[in-house]
Structure 1
Amino acid sequence: MAPSDPEATRSLAIGLAGEASTLVTDDLTAPAVGSGTIAVYATPALAALMEQAAVAAIESHLAAGEASVGVHLDLSHTAATPPGRTVSATATLTEIDGRKLTFEITARDDVEPIGKATHTRVVVDLARFLNKLAGKRL
């Protein structure tokens, strides 16, 4: 690979891990985000937290001018969390297939495990991605 090749300057490796956490507030509950009527931590909020953990695992390991975008999330939300509790997610990079990165993610509140997921992200050239996106603007 040529030294100017972004793949040559990535430092991605199986086992990289990242974490993200949040305090469950009313704006993160199912009624607030439109995903239900019970005031518990919303599944869409959990999905976002899990993606944040995956980004935290790899962000500093991408080459200059690269970013990653989420393309798939297979999530199980197995326990409810009320407002006032803290939720944490840990993402571990389990597979690298060219630009495609796969993560196993676990989440828990301060009482018990609340979910798990498999998540796929793709490494993109940021300038090229933004140029393509600009073509879709109204």
Structure 2
Amino acid sequence: MRHEVTAGDTALAVGSGDVEVLATPRLITWLEYTTAQLALTTLEPGQTSVGTSVRIRHRLPTRVGDTVDIAADGPEVDGRHLRFQVRATNSAGQLVADGELERVVVDRERFLANVP
């Protein structure tokens, strides 16, 4: 999945810093979206998945106007746990970020019933 970095995606815009480069929280959102879409292939009716762990190394800054390609491998399934290896590269093919995200499969109704 490819994203173009806009002014709204910067650390300055989202409040995670004071520079106009891709914000780590926005990058994580893009990575999580990709894993959530991949997780759909493992779900039964009535199930959803929720993010439970993020381990990301944000290695390079990305300027407004550049693009970031998001990719994920997996899931590696361990019971209800889904583990994904993720990476992001810029338009020059440089590694912007890599790491691992975990999701857990839950019954949607039971999960929502327990939300305070």
Whether these two folds match at TM > 0.5 is: yes
Which residue identity lines up with residue 83 of structure 1 in the other structure? Answer: V
Instruction: Give secondary structure in 1 for the equivalent of 2:82.
Output: strand
Question: Which amino acid is 2:59 matched to?
Answer: T
Q: Cα distance, 1:44 vs. partner?
A: 0.4
In the alignment, what sits opposite 1:55?
A: 36
Matching residue of 2:67: 86
- Which residue of 1 is the match for residue 83 of structure 2? 102
**What residue number does 1:11 align with?**
none
Contact 2:21/2:64 (8 A) holds in 1? yes
Match of 1:39 among 20, 37, 59: 20
Using the alignment, how far apart are the partners of 2:18 and 2:63 within structure 1?
13
For 2:82, give the aligned amino acid.
L
Per-residue deviation at 1:95?
2.2
**Structure 2 CA distance for aligned equivalents of residues 26 and 98 of structure 1:** 40
4+ runs of 1 displaced by more than 3 Å?
Answer: none
Contact 2:39 2:75 in 1 (8 A): no
- 1:120 maps to what in 2? 102
- Paired residue for 2:45? 64
Identical columns (%): 36
1:29-80: CA deviation from partner (whole Å, max 9, x where unpaired): 0001111111000000111111111112121331111110000000000011
- One-letter identity of the residue aligned with 1:96: V
Structure possessing the higher radius of gyration over alpha carbons: 1
Given that residues 40 and 80 in structure 1 are in contact (C-alpha distance below 8 angstroms), is that contact kept between their aligned partners in structure 2?
yes
Q: Contact 1:66–1:123 at 8 Å: present in 2 too?
A: yes
> Which secondary structure does the structure 2 equivalent of 1:48 belong to?
helix
Name the structure 2 match of 1:132: 114
Gaps of 5+ in 1: 1-19
CA 131–68 in structure 1, closer or farther in 2 if over 3 Å, else same: same
